[in-house]
Amino acid sequence: MAFTPWAAGQRITAARLAAMTPLWSAWTPTWTTSTGVGTPSYGNATVDCKYAQSGDTVFYEMEITFGTTTNFGGGGSNDNWRFSAPVTAAEPQLITGTGEIQGSSVAERYPIRARLDTTTTFQIELTGRSYNNETPNSSGLIDAATPFGTSNSISTAWANGFRILLDGKYQAA
């Protein structure tokens, strides 16, 4: 819903008040790659994503738990994953949210941030240190070929049960 500012003399109506109160809506991001090669698919993943818009601010939560039939794609190390945004953004933005990747064990948690690389798609970047303060083996935008882990526990392939958890906000167009 596009934001319409209040004007002098405008009446308060139920519709206008409802427009000011953001309600969460479900959204299933389209999962693609930056080149369109080796496109992944959710399969039986649990995709629990939602967003709310208040004025021109979009808030979102993204929780994806990959399943046994998830296809992580195979575009290679220069073909990064993209997820569609719930609402078109005003402009691309370097940091629009933060979260973590959870691997196969409780200790396998890695910080990530989302960036709007276009006005309609997110890419996810692996950054910083892991849960147990060890440096990840990889950094940068993620894809099916992104290895991450610590010197003691290296995940070289995405697998069933791995999760992406993000939450953030950005300005709508």
- The string of DSSP letters for the chain reads -------TTPPP-HHHHHHHS---EE----EEESSSSS--B-TT-EEEEEEEEETTEEEEEEEEE--TT-B-----TTS-EEEE-SS-BSS-EEEEEEEEEE-SSTT-EEEEEEEESSSSEEEEEE-S--TTSPPPS--EE--TT--EE-SSSEE-S--TT-EEEEEEEEEB-
User: Identity (one letter) of the amino acid at 152?
Assistant: N
User: Greater confidence, 84 or 13?
Assistant: 84
- Give the per-residue pLDDT at 144: 81
User: Greater confidence, 139 or 83?
Assistant: 83
User: Greater confidence, 140 or 169?
Assistant: 169
- Give the per-residue pLDDT at 79: 83
Could you tell me whether strands 57-65 and 140-141 are parallel, antiparallel, or unpaired per DSSP bridges? unpaired
- Average pLDDT of the segment spanning 116-141: 75
pLDDT digits (tens, 9 = 90+) for 61-106: 999 999 999 999 876 667 899 999 999 999 999 999 999 988 877 6
